[in-house]
Amino acid sequence: MNATNAVSDNSSPEDSVIVRLQAVRKLYGDMVAVESLDLDIRRGEFFTLLGPSGSGKTTTLRMIAGFERPSGGHVELDGVDITDVPPFNRDINTVFQDYALFPHMSVAKNLAYGLEAKRLPRKDINQRVDDALRMVHLEDHAGHLPGQLSGGQQQRIALARAVVNQPRVLLLDEPLGALDLKLRQHMQVELKRIQQEIDTTFIYVTHDQEEALVMSDRIAVFNKGRIEQMGEAVELYERPASEFVANFLGTSNLIDLDGKRVMIRPEKIRLLVGTEARPADSWHEQAATVQQKVFLGPSIRYLVRLECGTELLALEQNVTGFSNASAIMRGSRVRVAWSRDSVYEIPDTNR
Amino acid sequence: MSHLAARLWRHRGISGSLLLTPPMGWFVFIYLPALVVLLITAFWTVNSFTGVIERDWSLDNFVYIFSSHTYRDIILRTIVMAAAVTITDVVLAFPVAYYCARMASARIRILLFLLMLLPLWSMFVGPMYAWRIILADQGILNGLITSVGLSPLSISYSNWAVWIVFSYMWLPFVVAPTYAALERIPESYLEASGDLGGRSWRTFRKVIMPLAVPGVIAGSIFCFSLTLGGYIVPSLLGGPGSDLLGNVIFANVGAANNLPFAAALGIVPVVVMAVYLFFARRLGAFDMM
């Protein structure tokens, strides 16, 4: 109870913690899935647990949902310890990776399921089901069975079925994983819109770093059952706490420069040809040979080799189109240049 | 060889017909004609003096079956027995199937299935005699009952004995499809139900039961039809007043040598099963196939 007071007294409402994990750990036999985890998730934020498979992110989500019991530690919702509260008594809803729509119930029945369990009046149930269907633009599909819907529509119904309960926290377990790229990108924007519209805390699990960058207010990068780094997207991208984070979020050049381990992002490296001058005198410049050139459409990726033998990736905007096509080719002698601000020294991760 | 494989690959229809030829052949050339012969024979009669089959069309057999108290009782008793055995087995099978499908470890599951299938592997008649010993007036069951101070039952050679042994024999036929249906329900459905506020009873009623129904009905079809046609159990464990269609037909073929009358009786379970399947279909039992 003291903890509850401390939370509500010391923080402003928008900054207050809604989900708190305290020294939460999960073991499966001898296997450590999650190692003593401390995590505060703020009210109303879009929080992403990002990591490769087996990093413990889904297990963490399932402990918040109540499907897994922590082997140690506490889970708090709004300052109340819910570690031993079963899922059906938690004011939390989940969007499942396989959607888990009940195949024998109509879309409307699926949406009403949670509200009926709470014994809401029929009138309110119908109203909220209608609203939720409108929110995901599927109001014409109330009578369909889930099997009659496309993957994208099923995904939206799964989202609506969770949102319709107006939970305090919404959990999403790789909800877009089964969709194709175009639809996935569309749904990322859609999810963010809905999250802002209903002003609910979203906790999102994904292994897709781009997805995390698009939607999240804050991201926790998981590796081997631990949080490697936590913060806003720009922070993780520009100031990764470890080589793992630097590699997992985006592409990076990790090189030894003056005896230090540093990171330079490919898009921060400029390729200069002929007499072309570097953007500023303060920029570092070095001769290199183009090893490989890949046309990506909006950008062109080069692999260059410095004279010392180090290979670097460089990414240039495709601003010139055809006229650039022949300027730099495989084997071309170029100069690479970068601003000294772009060189970031990775902290020693052998803690 | 690779030439043949390529040809089969190009013409999927050929592979399909190759797979279906043996069972279809059996069905078309043996089973269906047998059924037709049964149907035709049912409209013939046997001359009661000479014992020779008279191939004149007549409804006499059916008129006799449905006007005779004895046969009406036997038909009714058979249907009630099949229904009772089916209900008993569904009630017994569901918890076992649920445990095997969703709770037991692989090892326990195999062990339980072995135990259930054991009676089907041993010679059919063996267990019958074991049950006679168990259910006899001075048998094992009464020994147990009297040892705890209750008065002994008198169920040997009665409908009770037939009911118990039928239920025992057909239990695996209900457990297996029920298990298959339950095992197919993804864990995430149950988690989703809990996540949406459904406690175990609600999850059971609204999610597990509806999805298990096709399996349960498939099992009930086995159980019901096997009981309708069962004749060993009533012959060996029944007594006066527990004749069922199966053993009456058997007696008419063998002892009474009245094949047309036996055929007419044999039509009855076929019709009953057709009605049963019709209602099972209406309940959606075949939708999931």
| CATH code of the domain containing A319 | 2.40.50.100
Which A residues, 131 through 150, put their C-beta within 8 Å of a C-beta on chain B? none
Location of structure tokens 């949902």: A65
Any domain includes B35: yes
Q: Is the reported ipTM for this assembly greater than 0.90?
A: no
Cβ contact (<8 Å) for A88 and B191? no
A207 inside domain: yes
Residues A198 and A280 in one domain: no
Domain of B4, in residue numbers: 1-41
CATH of the domain at B208: 1.10.3720.10
Longest dimension (CA), chain B: 77
Domain boundary among A182, A211, A243: A243
Report the Cα A268 to chain-centroid distance in Å: 23
Selected for mutation to probe chain B from A91, A96, A110 (highest B CB count within 10 Å) is: A96
A72-77/A169-173 β-pairing: unpaired
Tell me whether residues B188 and A114 touch, CB distance under 8 A.
no
- Check whether residue A236 and residue A341 sit in a common domain: no
Considering the domain architecture, whether residues B2 and B113 belong to the same structural domain is answered as no
CATH, residue A177: 3.40.50.300
Contact A166, A114 (CB under 8 A): no
**Cβ separation of B188 and A88 shorter than 8 Å?**
no
Q: Does A128 touch chain B (CB under 8 A)?
A: no
Test A114 with B202 for CB contact under 8 angstroms: no
- How would residue A58 be classed by pLDDT, with cut points 50, 70 and 90? very high
Which range has the worst mean pLDDT, A299-303, A305-309, B43-47, B102-106?
B43-47
Residues B182 and B243 in one domain: yes
Tell whether A336 lies on the interface with B, counting CB pairs under 8 A: no
List, for chain B, all residue ranges whose pLDDT scores fall below the cut of 50. Answer: none
A233 & A282 share domain: no
This prediction has a pTM of 0.82
CA distance A277 to A265: 21
pLDDT higher than threshold 90 for residue A174: yes
- CB–CB of A65 and B207 under 8 A? no
> Would residue B163 count as lying in a domain?
yes
Q: Please check whether residue A1 lies inside any domain of the structure.
A: no
The pLDDT of residue A328 is above 90: no
- In chain A, the residue whose alpha carbon lies closest to the alpha carbon of B200 is A88
Instruction: State the Cα–Cα distance between residues B169 and B167, nearest whole angstrom.
Output: 6
* pLDDT over threshold 90, residue A200: yes
**Range with the poorest average pLDDT among A43-57, A207-221, B136-150, B260-274:** B136-150
Q: Do B195 and B258 reside in the same domain of the chain?
A: yes
Q: Is B241 left (phi over 0), alpha (psi -120 to 50) or beta?
A: left
User: Does B264 lie in the same domain as B181?
Assistant: yes
Q: Mean per-residue pLDDT for A275-292? A: 90
Instruction: Read off the pLDDT band of A169 (50, 70, 90).
Output: very high
What pLDDT is recorded for position A248?
A: 92
- B76 and B33 both lie in a single domain: no
Domain count across chain A: 2
In a domain, A261, yes or no: yes
A5 has pLDDT over 60? no
Q: A89 contacts in B (CB within 8 Å)? A: 197
Flag the least confident range among A224-228, A263-267, A274-278, B204-208.
Answer: A274-278
Q: Give the C-alpha separation, A330 to A293, whole Å.
A: 6
Query: Quick one: pLDDT at residue A4?
Result: 41
Which among B189, B198, B210 has CB closest to A117? B198
Compare CB distances from B191 to A92, A100, A104 and report the shortest one's residue: A100
At B17 the pLDDT is: 82
Establish if B196 touches chain A: CB-CB under 8 angstroms: yes
B chain contacts of residue A103, beta-carbon cutoff 8 Å: 211
Instruction: Please indicate, yes or no, if residue A2 is contained in any of the structural domains.
Output: no
CA distance A77 to A286: 54
Q: Nearest 5°: phi and psi at A314?
A: -130, 140
User: Alpha-carbon torsion B136, B138, B142, B144, what sign?
Assistant: negative
Interface test mutation site (partner A, options B187, B195, B206, B287, max chain A beta carbons within 10 A)? B195
Q: How far is CA B7 from CA A189, B16, B19, B20, B210, in A?
A: 50, 13, 15, 18, 44
Residue A25 sits in the same domain as residue A137? yes
> Quick one: B27 and B98 in the same domain?
no
In a domain, B61, yes or no: no
Query: What is d(CA A40, CA A69) in angstroms, rounded to the nearest whole number?
Result: 19
Last residue of a domain, one of A220, A243, A266: A243
User: Dihedral sign, CA of A197, A198, A200, A205?
Assistant: negative
Which residues lie across from A285 on neighbouring strands?
Answer: A337
Q: Distance between CA atoms of A224 and A57, rounded to whole angstroms?
A: 9
CB B81 within 8 A of CB B164: no
Angle at alpha carbon of residue B103, lines to A105 and A146, rounded to 5°:
15
CA-closest candidate to residue B175, choices B129, B209, B211, B222: B222
Query: A85 at the B interface (CB within 8 A)?
Result: no
Whether residue B163 sits in one domain with residue B99 = yes
Angle B159-183/B209-229 helices, nearest 10 degrees?
Answer: 140
Q: How confident is the model at residue A324 (pLDDT cuts 50, 70, 90)?
A: low
Counted domains in chain B? 2
Q: Is the pLDDT of residue A349 over 70?
A: no
Residues A176 and A205 in one domain: yes
Instruction: Please indicate, yes or no, whether residues B136 and B264 belong to a single structural domain of this protein.
Output: yes
Amino acid identity, position A151: G
Same domain for B147 and B268, yes or no, is: yes
Rounded mean pLDDT, A128-154: 94
CA distance A216 to chain B (A): 24
The burial class, CB within 10 Å (0-12 / 13-18 / 19+), for A84 is: exposed
Q: Which of A113, A120, A154, A171 to mutate to probe the B interface, most B CBs <10 Å? A: A113
Per residue, what are the HEC states of chain A? CHHHHHHHHHCCHHHCEEEEEEEEEEEECCEEEEEEEEEEEECCCEEEEECCCCCCHHHHHHHHHCCCCCCEEEEEECCEECCCCCHHHCCEEEECCCCCCCCCCCHHHHHHHHHHHCCCCHHHHHHHHHHHHHHCCCHHHCCCCHHHCCHHHHHHHHHHHHHCCCCCEEEEECCCCCCCHHHHHHHHHHHHHHHHHHCCEEEEEECCHHHHHHHCCEEEEEECCEEEEEECHHHHHHCCCCHHHHHHCCCCEEEEECCEEEEECHHHCEEECCCCCCCCCCCEEEEEEEEEEEECCCEEEEEEEECCCCEEEEEEECCCCHHHHCCCCCCCEEEEEECHHHCEECCCCCC
User: What are the Cα distances from residue A53, in Å, to A33, A185, A205, A337, B281?
Assistant: 11, 21, 11, 36, 44
Domain shared by A232 and A162, yes or no:
yes
pLDDT score, position B287? 66
Q: Residues, chain B, total?
A: 289
Give the number of A-B residue pairs with CB atoms closer than 8 Å.
Answer: 62
Structure-token pair, residue B75: 């038909």
Starting at the earlier edge strand, list the strands of the sheet with A218-223: A92-95, A169-173, A201-206, A46-50, A218-223, A226-231
Q: Is residue B51 part of a domain?
A: no
Closest-CA residue of B relative to A161 is: B196
Q: Could you tell me the residue range of the domain that residue A50 belongs to?
A: 14-243
* pLDDT category of residue A325 using cuts at 50, 70 and 90: low
Instruction: Indicate if the alpha-carbon torsion angle A203, A207, A211, A212 is positive or negative.
Output: positive
- 200-219 in B: which are within 8 Å (CB) of A? 202, 206-207, 210-211
Examine the domain organization and report whether B137 and B208 are in the same domain. Answer: yes
Q: Are residues B243 and B111 in the same domain?
A: yes
B228 and B151: one domain?
yes
Integer CA distances (angstroms), A194 to A112, A130, A220, B87, B197, in order: 19, 16, 22, 50, 23
Alpha-carbon gap: B253 to the closest alpha carbon of chain A (Å): 48
* Residue A5, domain member (yes or no): no
